Structure 1
Amino acid sequence: MASARTRKFYAHEPGSPGWQVPATGAARFTWDYADGRERLLALYQKGKDKQWDAVTRIDWDLPVDPYDPLGVSDEHLPVHDTPYWHRMNERNKRELRRNYAAWQFSQFLHGEQGAMVCAARIVESVPDLDAKFYSATQTMDEARHTELFSRFLREKLGVGYPVDDNLRSLLDDTLRDSRWDMPYLGMQVLIEGLALAAFGMLRDSTSKPLPKQILAYVMQDEARHVAFGRMALRDYYRQLSQAELREREEFVIEGCYLMRDRLRGEIVLTDLGIPAKEAAELSEHSDNLKLFRKLLFSRIVPCVKDIGLWGERLQRAYVDLGVLELGDSSLDRLMAQDEELAEQLDAQRFAREEAARRAEVAAVIEAGGAAENETAEEVEKADGGSPGEG
């Protein structure tokens, strides 16, 4: 069982302190150390250049109100303006804001640990050295993301939620498969697409500087990860038979329906005493969930099409989901925007810090000048008050 400290942190009993997924497949070594694919090596270089420290790049001194951590309108809450909402006192509403944010960021945390494990599995199992190089940098990225989401939950919110059963199921399916490309497909395409949708929605809606920093900087890394998955899978899937491609398309279809239908966070509502069926209905019909689903598929559908998984059954599933037209969206443009927003945030922060530093220096100089003038005046008075001396 989990330790007393861990049980105290979680809103629900997390069960055992760990989770074991039986690993299958081979660890692959290559003795070909010649130059690899130019684009992938360039991405590897970028991955090295863009490493950063979650301790120093994030301004952890920024205050966060745990009962309004994101500063978004209450209209985003699925229970808003319902009889349940009107019966809540202010304390209940404060707890709801806190717990809903805690549930979201907890799933980010668990997903990032899953991404770290998947990236490490890719290092182990992918046959090409250039892909091993890049996925090693991604493993470090995901470790950093796990670190910072854990810190935000513990230091700023003080509560967390166990991994959602449906996210756990998707991670389990991704990690159990013995084929080396499945961690790519499950993680780089589906789970990263899920994360980017949720990150982007909160990054663009929060009015609080600390969560905005965290989400913007994480998304800057994720833009590279999606590019990596696209490059590697596009090359590999050109070599597969139609039967092999259909197997992967089935995995994508199941994952897309799972993410659309079941990742809703109604556990936060049932904690308030709302019956499970009503909690599910409230979550299902919330405007926030509708927006999330639209953003979710804006990342996944064009990526799936780009890597070559676009069979008839998959297209029919996307028609059913109402997202087929997103296959023509520009994923490159979305990824570029994610990187640009993080760089703009850095520039704004550095400009403010530089302005504050200059103001501090100017104040010190002014204070020093005033002290010199005061000393000079005192000397002058002393000299003037002792005529004829010397």
Structure 2
Amino acid sequence: MSTRRRAVLVGAGVLVVAALIVLVIGSYRHQVSVQRSDDPRSTTAEGTRALAQLLTDEGVRITTTDDVDTAIARSDQRTLLVVASPDLLSDEQAAQVGGATYARLLLLRPRAAALRAFGLPVDQSAPAVGTVDPGCADPAATAAGAIDPGDFRVGYASQAGAVALRCYPAAGGAGWLRVGGPFGPVDLVAGGVSNDLLAHQGNAAFGMNVFGTQPEIVWLMGRSAAVTASRSGAGPTLLPAWWAPAVVQAFVALVAVGIWRGRRLGPILHEPLPVTVRAAETVAGHGRMYARIGARDRAAEALRAGVRDRLGRVYGHRVSDSDGVLALSAAVANRTGRPAPEVARLLAGPPPGSDDDLVTLAAQLDRLEQEARRL
């Protein structure tokens, strides 16, 4: 195989490996992105894929995004803007979301940080336990009936004057609260719509009635990286998003080039000598090494190969396989009077079983060569 062709094949292999790595990383990132709590793409127990599917079957269009600007751009007067994990938003992002255009704004599982960021006059309360009845006259709640609040983390309590709707009460708070804020009415939902609980009690009807009031939903997932940068005062990372797969690709390319250009270990004793030495010293050195490692088979083959090559040149026989050995043995036997099988055994027989046998073989080969050359 030519060097150019080898280079093309290596390059193609590197590209294939790099493409596979990029696909794996992309798939991994996608899997990670859809395993978050309250994500309508997630099929985990904490996700909301089941609710999203029910709403989609009813004709509701759902757009999921992690970017605040994208959520604001896609919201209009026909949109329910759902903010999942709102505690991950900074104060500036909360103000952006609150000031956007939408039909309704719903915060899913907000805690104290989100309540403060959105400027809502609401405090956390203890979450409800056991089956909870609607406790209000709102048609969405009364049609759903009792729900299982097994995934409630907190409840919401507010001053009576600020509350427009208070359903599913427990422990001084409520699981669904609509309260006035700086940007208008905001719905606070403590949960009850996760995949794990949607089939319990009236949870599915509750989720459909509360989240299905508009023909379109923009579902904004908060991002912890944005919160960390905003609240710690740190700037954005200086590394681009593609740096990790680029490093992996560079490493693969480096390994491939190293294998391609690296020196291959050749057969024993076939490397050229670094300096010119006398032939006798080379032979003696090889002999001592063979003796040290007990390589009688290699030593015997080296002796036989030398005799075959020299006699082959004398008798005009090219010895490259067993047929060549038989032809040379017949020619030598004809000239020396030795039996052809005996000559063949000396030129290409089994390896000696001991050092003494190796010495005897060397003497016999030397005698055979002298006889074949003398006649």
TM bucket by the smaller chain? under 0.3
Q: Name whichever structure is richer in strand by fraction.
A: 2
User: Considering only CA atoms, is the larger Rg found in Structure 1 or Structure 2?
Assistant: 2
Q: TM-score, length-normalised on structure 2? A: 0.26
Q: Name whichever structure is richer in helix by fraction.
A: 1
Q: TM-score, length-normalised on structure 1? A: 0.25
